[in-house]
Amino acid sequence: MTLVNDQRAQLEELYEEMAPSHLTPLWELLSQLVLPQPRSPAVSHRWNYDDARSYLLRAGDIISAEQAERRVLILENPGLEGLSAITPSLYAGLQLILPGEIAPSHRHTQCALRFVIEGSGAFTSVGGEKAVMNPFDLVLTPGWEWHDHGNPTDTPMIWLDGLDIPTVRHFDASFAEHLGEKVHPETAPPGASIATYGHNMRPMRGHVADYRPAHQPLFHYPYAQWRPALDAMAASATIDPHLGHALEFLNPADGGAIMDTISAHVRLLPAGFTSSRAARPTARFSSWLRGKVPHGWASVRSRLAIATSSLSRRGRNCDWRRGRISSCSASPTRSPSRNSDSIRRNVRDRDFRTPTASACQDHGRT
């Protein structure tokens, strides 16, 4: 704002006098508050998974899962220092459960999901029902449901946590309770929710078998089920020029996203695939698997996807090599081509602001 000297001096005097009353002039700040396009404080960054795993195992030698309550290394975006966030609206971390350990039962208003990385046979109990976890499974712990974790196997279990902690913090809506027992008493056998709600059917309302919350009946999406579905789609469907072959995990109660504030989907990108356009501006992070048979963790990407023009001005890109966890502040115009098929698992915040989503479509950011 360019003003003549006398007007500027009068305004500065006004600002100084009204500052003790905690009043500030919008006209000085409007261009910073109402942006012509998204401008995320998150920055591009890479974590080396082998290093993170080594630190996590060292922590396991020092502090137990019960002492820590949740033994997790937070993936904190360098542009969001001190906020425990990987994007402005999402949290991510790597959690370790060692053989014989239990992470005690608690509940909180934050919604959470877990993508399993290493190990097989540990469990997450939700409301007293165990989801036995295997590599690349998706397991949810919806807000305000009791949950605990345990590892009865002889090998460590590591998974990626994703929570809406920054979103809940924004609305000042954090509540939490501890059960008082390490493990919630069993209310249903392992896998009961998949058998009851996981086949596009559910018990009749009022039936004694209808035991899960009506708004969130399913919380376990096994890799053994979602990978064949993705492969079948890739074998027959037309590939999307940006997304590749993509399937979203759904809440069977309403056909919408898995939770109120977080959605998740998987993509298959065939060898040599290159995307052709930018994505809608939503906060997300992704994990990559290479090859038709996954051998382990590849990388995690976090980004706030913004307009292609913004990315071009920044001139930044991300390295998706194996064994790295990466955070990107913008969506690449073109995804790098690969010499083998890749599977990408995405976690993102919900598009709950309909006018914003419509505006993005109007500007060609679909």
Measure the CA–CA gap between 222 and 115, rounded to whole angstroms: 10
Q: Find the range with the poorest average confidence among 200-209, 250-259, 266-275, 285-294.
A: 285-294
Residue 136 DSSP symbol:
T
Is the confidence at residue 254, as pLDDT, over 50?
Answer: yes
Q: Find the range with the poorest average confidence among 109-113, 144-148, 278-282, 358-362.
A: 358-362
Using 50, 70 and 90 to split pLDDT, how confident is the model at 64? very high
Residue type, 319: D
The token pair that represents 308 in the structure block:
């292609």
Residue type, 280: R
Question: What's the average model confidence in pLDDT over 229-256?
Answer: 94
Measure the CA–CA gap between 99 and 151, rounded to whole angstroms: 5
Q: Find the range with the poorest average confidence among 77-91, 147-161, 255-269, 293-307.
A: 293-307
Measure the CA–CA gap between 335 and 314, rounded to whole angstroms: 17
Higher-pLDDT residue of 296, 54: 54
Long-range contacts of 10-19 (CB under 8 A, 24+ apart): none
Residue 78 DSSP symbol:
G
Q: Each residue of 138-174: pLDDT tens digit?
A: 999 999 999 999 999 999 999 999 999 999 999 999 9
pTM score of the predicted model: 0.82
Q: Each residue of 175-193: pLDDT tens digit?
A: 999 999 999 999 999 999 9
CB 203 within 8 A of CB 209: yes
Measure the CA–CA gap between 278 and 332, rounded to whole angstroms: 7
Give the percent of the chain with pLDDT over 90.
66
Domains and CATH numbers, the chain: 45-362 (2.60.120.10)
Q: What pLDDT is stored for residue 244 in this prediction?
A: 92
Q: What is the DSSP string of 175-241?
A: -EEE-SSSSPPP-S-TTHHHHHHSSS--PPTT-TT--S-TT----EE-HHHHHHHHHHHHHHSPPBT
Q: Each residue of 293-311: pLDDT tens digit?
A: 333 333 333 332 222 222 2
